[in-house]
């Protein structure tokens, strides 16, 4: 029973991390496109900085929710919940995900010793 709970906790942490990395990759990709579009169409005014800064704030708080807040944090729990609803549907059977879950379980076991 305890092993199942540890597995579920590790799975949620891994899903939150994967969600953050996906978010970060999309942020970088979209902002590169926005910079290119801005420089091609209207290089006199550099408007790309506004979505870069605004979205960057969101990425920063997402990183805090995933990596800095404790498990008891309601913000982190909400982040994990929302990620579980959508982003992870396509990664559910991933062997990479399973290896990450195993690593998380090992980290948790070392903390308890």
Token duo for residue 68:
């800095």
Specify the pTM. Answer: 0.68
Tell me the per-residue pLDDT of 36-82, one tens digit each, with 9 for 90 and over: 999 999 989 999 999 999 999 999 999 998 988 755 555 555 555 55
Q: Which of 60, 64, 67 is nearest to 14 (CA)?
A: 67
Question: 3-11: which pairs have CB atoms within 8 A and are 24 or more residues apart?
Answer: 6/105, 6/108, 6/109, 7/101, 7/105, 9/71, 9/104, 9/108, 10/101, 10/102, 10/104, 10/105, 10/108, 11/101, 11/104
Q: What is the mean pLDDT of residues 1-22?
A: 87
Q: Residue 28: is its pLDDT beyond 60?
A: yes
Number of domains comprising the chain: 1
94 band by pLDDT with thresholds 50, 70 and 90: low
Q: Which domain holds residue 83?
A: 2-112
User: Which residue's structure tokens are 């498990």?
Assistant: 71
> What does the pLDDT read at residue 9?
86
């Amino acid at each position: 029973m305890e092993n199942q709970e540890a597995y579920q906790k590790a799975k949620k942490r891994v899903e939150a991390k994967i969600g953050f990395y996906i978010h970060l990759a999309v942020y970088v990709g979209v902002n590169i496109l926005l910079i290119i579009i801005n420089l091609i169409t209207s290089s006199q005014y550099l408007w790309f900085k506004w979505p870069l800064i605004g979205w960057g704030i969101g990425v920063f708080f997402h990183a805090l929710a995933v990596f800095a807040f404790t498990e008891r944090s309601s913000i982190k729990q909400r982040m994990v919940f929302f990620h579980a609803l959508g982003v992870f549907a396509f990664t559910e059977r991933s062997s990479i995900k399973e290896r990450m879950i195993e690593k998380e379980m090992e980290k948790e076991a070392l903390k308890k010793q």
